[in-house]
Amino acid sequence: MVERAKALTFSEAMSAEAFSERFPANGDGNLPRLIAAAVTHVHDLIKQFRPSQEEWRKLIAFLTEVGHASDDRRQEWVLLSDLIGASALVEEINSRRPQAATPNTIRGPFFRNDAPERASGSSISLDGIGEPLTVSVRVQDLDGLPIAGAEVVTWQANGEGFYENQQPDLQPEHNLRGLFRTDTDGRFRYRSVMPSGYGVPDDGPVGRLLTGAGYPLRRPANLHFVIRARGFETITTHIYDASDPHLGEDALFGVRPELVACFEPVEIDGKRARAVSLTFVMVRTKPGRA
């Protein structure tokens, strides 16, 4: 019988190594290495900040509360991932595109996959509450050629910073949501209302922790889009209002210079309104990506 090598004695200096050496040396895949790397980082943080037993118990209690706050309707772990920038980093790593292409951002928690299809020129504001907004959209490829028949889903918060599925008793079903298709010139337009910026949920353990630490939990005013076309990579992105004062502190790290647009003041039927023109640039699908 072959004897295992003598295990390292656990000590402050060799704590992570004492854990990592217990994995089989010939283990398959990245999982053992990922676990060992994560544990090494945790041990390094403990050595750096040297928490007391009570402080460590508070951290465990926080993680436990995050788990208890997660269910089919609310995912507090996803919120934690979003607010620490982990979701944005995963998106950045997995959706690298040429500089001229529209970048991806995270989808956010208020997306619905059942947005009703609407005709170009129609309004997605079903209650008509808010400052009128006209949105003109063009979808094209890297050569500037139009992409006809692209499917574009859009959704947004209202003028008070609430999405329709946050206020099911106050807003009409599917308010400020719509699915449009581009014409032969890659274009469509629709009417809406100006969105407002808003705070991310702060009534759970993640929000309470970051708020207590003085961390900003605001999102600048934005429009959401998911754009799909046969033969092209799907775009999931935002467009942000250039005049919003919170552009520099988006809680979900979605703001990019190329995603900031001016919502210009205009007059429609003698009334104050806004208008914005947007161009989305798609790249062709690579093997294994959609």
Residues 6+ positions from 71 with CB-CB distance below 8 Å: none
All structural domains of the chain with their residue ranges: 15-50, 76-282
Three-state DSSP at 260 gives strand
Rg of the chain over Cα atoms, rounded to whole angstroms, equals 24
pLDDT band at 78 (very low <50, low <70, confident <90, very high): confident
Residue 289 has pLDDT above 80, yes or no: no
Contact (Cβ atoms closer than 8 angstroms) between residue 240 and residue 277: no
Give me the pLDDT at residue 288, please.
61
Give the 3-state secondary structure percentages of the chain, helix then strand then coil, rounded to 5. Answer: 25, 25, 50
pLDDT (tens digit per residue) in 118-177 = 999 999 999 999 999 999 999 999 999 999 999 999 999 999 999 998 899 999 999 999
Query: Which pLDDT value is given to residue 29?
Result: 75
- Note the pLDDT tens digit of each residue in 197-250: 999 888 889 999 999 889 999 999 999 999 999 999 999 999 999 999 999 999
Cα distance from N-terminal residue to C-terminal residue, the chain = 52
Q: What pLDDT is recorded for position 183?
A: 98
Instruction: Report the C-alpha gap between 52 and 200 in whole angstroms.
Output: 31
Q: Please give, one letter per residue, the 3-state secondary structure of 217-232.
A: CEECCEEEEEEECCCE
**Whether domain 76-282 has CATH 3.40.50.150:** no
Q: According to the model, what pLDDT value does residue 27 have?
A: 66
Long-range contacts of residues 211-220, Cβ cutoff 8 Å, at least 24 apart: 215/83, 216/246, 216/249, 216/251, 217/83, 217/251, 218/246, 218/249, 218/250, 218/251, 219/246, 219/250, 219/251, 219/252, 220/244, 220/245, 220/246, 220/247, 220/250, 220/255
Q: What is the mean pLDDT of the chain?
A: 91
pLDDT, residue 269, reads: 80
What is the C-alpha to C-alpha distance for residues 117 and 44, in angstroms, rounded to an integer? 52
Q: For residue range 10-26, list pLDDT tens digits in order.
A: 899 999 998 888 888 77
177, 124 in Cβ contact below 8 A?
yes
Higher local confidence (pLDDT), 147 or 72: 147
- What is the arithmetic mean of pLDDT over 70-82? 83
Question: How confident is the model over 74-81, as a mean pLDDT?
Answer: 86
Model confidence, pTM: 0.83
Tokens standing for residue 124: 């997605």
Give residue 255's pLDDT. 95
pLDDT at 7: 67
180/2: higher pLDDT: 180
For 188, list phi and psi in degrees, rounded to 5: -160, 170
**Cα 203 from Cα 88, distance rounded (Å):** 22
Phi, psi (deg, nearest 5) at residue 210: -70, -35
